[in-house]
Amino acid sequence: MFHWDLSIRAVTFVADNPHLGPNNLYRAPDLTPWRCTGGIIEPIYNIKMNVHTPAPMEQYPTLRSWLTFEGPITSITPTGTINIHVTSSKYHSEIPTNYCAPAIEICGHVVKTESDTGSHWTASSTTVPY
């Protein structure tokens, strides 16, 4: 048996207005999370996310492109892209200081049990340490 329940908290840059999809969620595909280290803002290129958010993106002239969000990881695609249905999200013109972190935050648990050998492992975290 394998079970996981993980949530993610991150910031990303949304260049194009997301399209409204099923369940009244806006889908922003193939996004890259960003991090702040030593005052430098840079993308984390080895991670891709499909973010499903209830927050609509504003139009010009008040366009805000930085999306901060929190929510559960619902699945991972065959190409490794992480699908996230956010529970909290907001667009900003600048990254808020409480989201300026050197890594994305992940919390939750992972459980794997092997019945033949009786061995199992469990991992749990309230947040990823910086």
Band the pLDDT of 130: cuts 50, 70, 90.
Answer: very low
| Whole-number Å distance between alpha carbons of 90 and 33 | 15
Asked whether residue 13 is assigned to any structural domain, the reply reads yes
Write down the pLDDT at residue 57.
82
The residues, any chain, with a CB within 8 Å of residue 107's CB and separated by 6 or more, are: 6, 7, 9, 125, 126, 127, 128
pLDDT above 70 (res 3): no
Q: What is the CATH number of the domain that holds 12?
A: 2.40.50
Asked whether residue 127 is assigned to any structural domain, the reply reads no
Cα dihedral sign for 100, 38, 65, 92?
A: positive
Asked whether residue 1 is assigned to any structural domain, the reply reads no
Write down the pLDDT at residue 109.
78
| Whole-number Å distance between alpha carbons of 25 and 102 | 28
List, for residues 45-81, the tens digit of each pLDDT value. Answer: 999 999 999 988 877 656 789 999 999 999 889 999 9
List, for residues 81-100, the tens digit of each pLDDT value. Answer: 999 999 999 999 999 998 99
Asked whether residue 11 is assigned to any structural domain, the reply reads yes
Helix H or strand E segment including 13:
strand 2-13
Asked whether residue 115 is assigned to any structural domain, the reply reads no
- Look at 118 and 19; give whichever has higher pLDDT: 19
Asked whether residue 118 is assigned to any structural domain, the reply reads no
Write down the pLDDT at residue 40.
93
Asked whether residue 95 is assigned to any structural domain, the reply reads yes
Domain region containing 25? 7-104
Number of domains into which the chain is organized: 1
